Amino acid sequence: MKILKAAGLKKYYVTDTYQVRALDGVTLDVEEGEFLALVGTSGSGKTTLLNLLGGLEEPTAGGVWIRGNSLKDMTREERTVFRRRNIGFVFQQYNLVPMLDVYENIVLPLRLDGEEADEAFLEELSAALGIRELMGRMPGTLSGGQQQRVAIARALAVKPAILLADEPTGSLDSVTGMEVMGLLKTCAARFHQTVILVTHQEEAAQMADRILRMSDGKLVEGRRKEGESEKEGRHAGV
């Protein structure tokens, strides 16, 4: 079942002297439970696309629908609430609150929304990520890999429709990075989570079910893990 649709997405930045087409007409469908990787060089538009899919930025043209809900038809306040309830974010920087312990960081989005934590789910999630023994620790006492695991748990705790991960291994060494990627892949499969990953690391991208490549603000090609090649005009609805 289709969980996300993007149609004709454009994001242009205009100054007095020039125009930057950060995203230049992207159409994309994502199926529920799919693990999708967006790859490309710096400046290719992949992070801009992720920000538009997550409602962090507004497009110059086009639209995004998540579970049939149009982000562009929401007010800023409505979009903030929808994002908190339906979209999980994992960034290169862990963005943990330093004065809150691990457990408090994980449940913070739920508390901001006035919701009670599903303790049984959190127990299962923390066990899957290997952080069950860290719940009373402060972020400053954790390694980078441990902090990123906590950030993943925080993103998944709200049981989002979609998890968006922007270079989640960028601040980690290669061994720890692949370990975190393996845990992300395991959790996505275990909890039937839809994941869209932005990365420039080919090894990380290979863990995805489908890989789409970006260049100059456009989707230029993509393939499924079976090795099937698909050009831009054909992969939009796949």
The 10 Å Cβ neighbour count of residue 79 is 18
Phi, psi of 119 (to 5 degrees): -65, -35
Please give the Cα distance from 158 to 4 (Å, whole number): 18
Element holding 2 (H helix, E strand): strand 2-14
Q: Apex CA 94: angle with CA 163 and CA 150, to 5°?
A: 70
Please give the Cα distance from 217 to 169 (Å, whole number): 23
Residues 70-113 pLDDT 10s: 999 999 999 999 998 899 999 888 899 999 999 999 999 999 88
Residues 104-142 pLDDT 10s: 999 999 998 888 889 999 999 999 899 999 999 999 999
pTM for this model (two decimals): 0.86
| C-alpha distances in Å from residue 150, one per residue of 82, 104, 110, 132 | 22, 10, 15, 10
Return the closest-CA partner of residue 24 out of 1, 50, 49, 58. Answer: 49
Residues 172-222 pLDDT 10s: 888 888 888 888 888 888 888 899 999 988 888 898 999 999 999 999 876
DSSP 183: H
Question: Domains in the chain, ordered, with CATH?
Answer: 2-235 (3.40.50.300)
Q: Strands across the sheet with 69-70, in order? A: 19-31, 2-14, 61-66, 69-70
For residues 238 and 41, the model is more confident at 41
The two beta strands, 210-215 and 35-39, are parallel
Lowest mean pLDDT among 47-61, 64-78, 216-230: 216-230
The pair of three-digit structure tokens given for residue 109, joined into one six-digit string = 């989005």
Return the closest-CA partner of residue 38 out of 212, 201, 221. Answer: 212
The 10 Å Cβ neighbour count of residue 149 is 26
Please give the Cα distance from 69 to 35 (Å, whole number): 21
What integer pLDDT is reported at residue 220 of this predicted model? 84
Please give the Cα distance from 235 to 56 (Å, whole number): 25
| C-alpha distances in Å from residue 132, one per residue of 4, 135, 162 | 32, 6, 24
